[in-house]
Amino acid sequence: MTLPPRLARTRWVVFGTLSASHFLIYFQRLAPNVLAPDLTRDFGLSASQLGLLGSIYFWLYATLQVPAGIALDRLGARRLGAVSMVVAALGSAVLGLASGYGLALVGRGLIGIGSTPFYISIMLVIRHWFRRREFATMSGVMLMASNLGALAATQPLARLAETIGWRASLVAFAGVMLGLAALVALLVRDRPEDVGLPAPEAELAPDVEKRLPLGIALQIAWGTRSVWLIALMFFLVYGVVNAFQGLWAVPWLIDTRGLDRATAATLASWWAWGTVAGAPTWGLLSDRVLHTRKGAGILGFILFALAWAPLTLLPAIPLWSLAPLMFLAGFGSASVVITAPLIMELLPRQVVGTAIGLINATPFLGAAVYQYGIGLALDRFGRFPNGTYLPAGYQAVFAACLLSILGATLLMLPVRERPRG
């Protein structure tokens, strides 16, 4: 069925505005990876303190996911998204202007709080504005756009920080985020019905939806076994992804390979390039080729493990091989795009936000645990006299990450999914 022209146009405006917001959220999420040398120098940080500064974003983000999901089921993406982007912008400015470690933690924490509802908001927009057969594809497009923000947080941020300083860079991005907050308020609408448009499919129309009491919604979302399996899988996979891509990749390359920051950031960017390529690919494969969400996810995690194994088992692997391995790791791990569509198809519409909030808390709890835990492990293994951390410390945490990826793959096997034609 062909969509009405106005519906076809408007849904891309809504989706594009929130995706642009998520671009900036991803940029802020991963910025400490490139800024780690500056943060360590200016605030005099140990590895564990740097890990806490990076991970406080994820501790707060994870803690607030379930409340954010409940709020979005009741308030909608437009109102909550605009206010949240203002909070994140304030956090970026506070971090950029911080005079000490304590205030830096406050700024980073505000960024985490303000970032909380955007992923769930985009998933709900996809659920309301797009057809079921488009869910995984649009999730992939969203993750692709978000990882362009991850790319901006690699070499471009490194160059910008060297040109105007890391503090001015964060303050400048705070201004951009305020502009996005205004656009969210002006352009985003929660559902087609809000602007007099029909739902894209009859099964999504409001006349088949009845709001459930909060207790029943929580019981349905939290009582579904597959939700918990996916949540634990997400904890393991994104714990690895965000720990490496979000904080420790550049320090690892500087410490073990002797690279300068710009070169290390460029090499680390291959992970984001892999995700940019992988996210829409896994969405299309899931929607149109494999016709299975779970199968696409398992295949992606196997590729992720194959890419990670050489980094763990071959510490002296040639430098030239790191770029293709990081690309493959990003490509394989991007198969997590299938999880939200899987949940949207498995559960009633009225509890999707609550369920995704529960699931989306776990990857960021994983990121917080892994980022901080890696810092503690590196401190425990010790440093060379020049301040760089021992390769043995990095290899130990890489081995733990490989086990996490393999465990996540096994957790997907018993997940239930809605049959697809």
**Rounded mean pLDDT, 136-144:** 77
DSSP 117-148: THHHHHHHHHHHHS-GGGHHHHHHHHHHHHHH
pLDDT at residue 245 in the model: 81
Q: Is the backbone of residue 409 left (phi > 0), alpha (psi -120 to 50) or beta?
A: alpha
Q: Which residues contact 323 (CB under 8 A, 6 or more apart)?
A: 267, 270
**Rounded mean pLDDT, 236-251:** 86
* 206 domain-assigned: no
Of the ranges 45-59, 136-150, 379-393, which one carries the lowest mean pLDDT score? 136-150
Question: CB of 381 within 8 A of CB of 389?
Answer: yes
* 2 domain-assigned: no
The pLDDT tens digits for 98-138 are 999 999 999 999 999 998 888 778 877 887 888 877 777 78
Distances, alpha carbon 87 to alpha carbons 26, 124, 175, 406, in Å: 15, 21, 12, 37
pLDDT at residue 97 in the model: 95
The CATH number of residue 226's host domain is 1.20.1250.20
* 352 domain-assigned: yes
**Rounded mean pLDDT, 15-27:** 89
* 166 domain-assigned: yes
The pLDDT tens digits for 273-313 are 998 888 888 888 877 777 777 888 899 999 999 999 998 88
pLDDT at residue 207 in the model: 40
The pLDDT tens digits for 168-192 are 999 999 999 999 999 999 998 888 8
Which three-class secondary structure state does DSSP give residue 99? Answer: coil
**Rounded mean pLDDT, 44-65:** 87
Confidence of residue 163 (pLDDT cuts 50, 70, 90): very high
Distances, alpha carbon 326 to alpha carbons 1, 126, 275, in Å: 41, 29, 10
Pairwise CA distance, residues 200 & 195, whole Å: 13
Q: Which residues contact 403 (CB under 8 A, 6 or more apart)?
A: none
pLDDT at residue 213 in the model: 59
Q: Is the pLDDT of residue 203 over 70?
A: no
**Rounded mean pLDDT, 316-334:** 92
pLDDT at residue 123 in the model: 76
* 207 domain-assigned: no
pLDDT at residue 34 in the model: 87
Pairwise CA distance, residues 295 & 138, whole Å: 18
**The overall pTM is greater than 0.95:** no
pLDDT at residue 380 in the model: 86
Question: CB of 132 within 8 A of CB of 112?
Answer: no
Confidence of residue 210 (pLDDT cuts 50, 70, 90): low
Cβ burial of 48 (10 Å; 0-12, 13-18, 19+) is middle
Q: Is the pLDDT of residue 159 over 80?
A: yes
pLDDT at residue 220 in the model: 66
Helix axes 339-346, 352-381, angle to 10 degrees: 150
Alpha helices, DSSP H only, in 44-131?
47-63, 65-75, 77-97, 101-115, 118-129
Percent of the chain with pLDDT over 70: 89
The CA dihedral of 352, 355, 356, 362, to the nearest 10 degrees, is 180
* Selected residue with higher pLDDT from 138 and 254: 254
Range of the domain at 193: 7-199+213-412
Question: CB of 404 within 8 A of CB of 232?
Answer: no
* 1 domain-assigned: no
Of the ranges 26-30, 68-72, 250-254, 257-261, which one carries the lowest mean pLDDT score? 68-72
Pairwise CA distance, residues 35 & 240, whole Å: 19
The pLDDT tens digits for 374-421 are 988 998 888 888 778 888 899 999 999 999 999 999 998 888 776 555
pLDDT at residue 331 in the model: 95
Q: Is the pLDDT of residue 160 over 70?
A: yes
Pairwise CA distance, residues 388 & 259, whole Å: 12
pLDDT at residue 206 in the model: 47
* 327 domain-assigned: yes
Which three-class secondary structure state does DSSP give residue 198? Answer: coil
Count: domains in the chain:
1
* 158 domain-assigned: yes
Question: CB of 139 within 8 A of CB of 126?
Answer: yes
